Amino acid sequence: MTAARDRPRLALLDASKSDHTRRNFRRELDADLVEFDVTDNDRPAGFDFDGVVITGSRTSVYWDRDWIRPLVDYVAAAHERGLPILGVCYGHQVLASALGGRVEDMGEYEIGYREIRKLEDDDLFEGIPESFTAFTTHSDVVTELPPDAELLAENDYGVHAFRCGDAWGVQFHPEYDRDTAATVTKGKDLPDERIQSVLEGIDRDNYEAACRTKRLFENFTSHVRRVREAPAQ
């Protein structure tokens, strides 16, 4: 853990309505989190943060909900002001939409511990293998990257990570513990045999392999500190 005076102050934009989400991000992020339930239209009044993190959600970014467009607009404005941003799963899709990309229903579900290929060396993925295991759960996918974005990781379901300046999106869930993975899986409207297959894969070996992706949280907060400490232009 870093010294208290060195801890970044991050806005956590929670779109999940799930008890486990904030617990997981509090555990993984060595930062002071200011938490907002964006599904209740609770958003930061300004940009007095060192960075922004956007969580997963059960909604789709293209749905008609009164809180989604304002969330996307806030993320776009935060990016314009140069705040480092990390979007996870739904947050990855929000970020893509905010910066001019496209998100669509992929017509199927990716869920469980899956292999993902790293395509480029990048600060966020420092210390993470070229091929890595991560827990996934999504039926939407980024089908068009934002202008000037760099594709960082993918698998046979599509885009799993991209970067645009100081903003990153990751489709997978590096924050999940085994209990969260099991709880989320049991809540899906999928055939029983598929649910059972995914649950059987939530074992110690897969979880320990996926824990290597948690390194990206340390990498993100290190980048946030570098941006915060850089001389003003």
Q: What mean pLDDT do residues 162-176 have? A: 98
For residues 19 and 107, the model is more confident at 107
Residues 161/153, Cβ–Cβ less than 8 Å: yes
pLDDT at site 2: 52
| Span 1-27, average pLDDT | 87
pLDDT tens-digit map of 89-99: 999 999 999 99
State the average pLDDT over residues 47-55: 98
Of the residues 28, 79, 89, 223, only one is catalytic, namely 89
Q: In the chain, what percentage of residues exceed pLDDT 70?
A: 97
The answer to whether 50 touches 10, Cβ cutoff 8 Å, is: yes
For every residue of 113-158, DSSP letters joined together read EEEEEE-S--GGGTTS-SEEEEEEEEEEEEEEPPTT-EEEEEETTE
pTM of the model: 0.96
Query: What value does the mean pLDDT take over residues 10-30?
Result: 96
Respond yes or no: is residue 175 known to be catalytic.
yes
Per-residue pLDDT, 233: 59
- ∠ Cα 1 179 206 (to 5°): 80
pLDDT value at residue 124: 98
Strand 102-118 and strand 150-155: the pairing is antiparallel
Average pLDDT for the chain: 96
The amino acid that residue 72 corresponds to is V
Question: Does the pLDDT of residue 228 top 90, yes or no?
Answer: yes
Does the pLDDT value for residue 3 go beyond 80?
A: no
Q: What is the mean pLDDT of residues 200-212?
A: 98
Closest CA to 145 of 95, 106, 105: 95
Q: What is the pLDDT of residues 101-138, one digit of tens each?
A: 999 999 999 999 999 999 999 999 999 999 999 999 99
pLDDT higher than 70, residue 5: no
pLDDT digits (tens, 9 = 90+) for 34-50: 999 999 999 999 999 99
The reported pLDDT for the residue numbered 231 is 75
Q: Are 39 and 15 in contact (CB under 8 A)?
A: yes
Percent of the chain with pLDDT over 90: 94
Q: What pLDDT, on the 0 to 100 scale, is given for residue 46?
A: 96
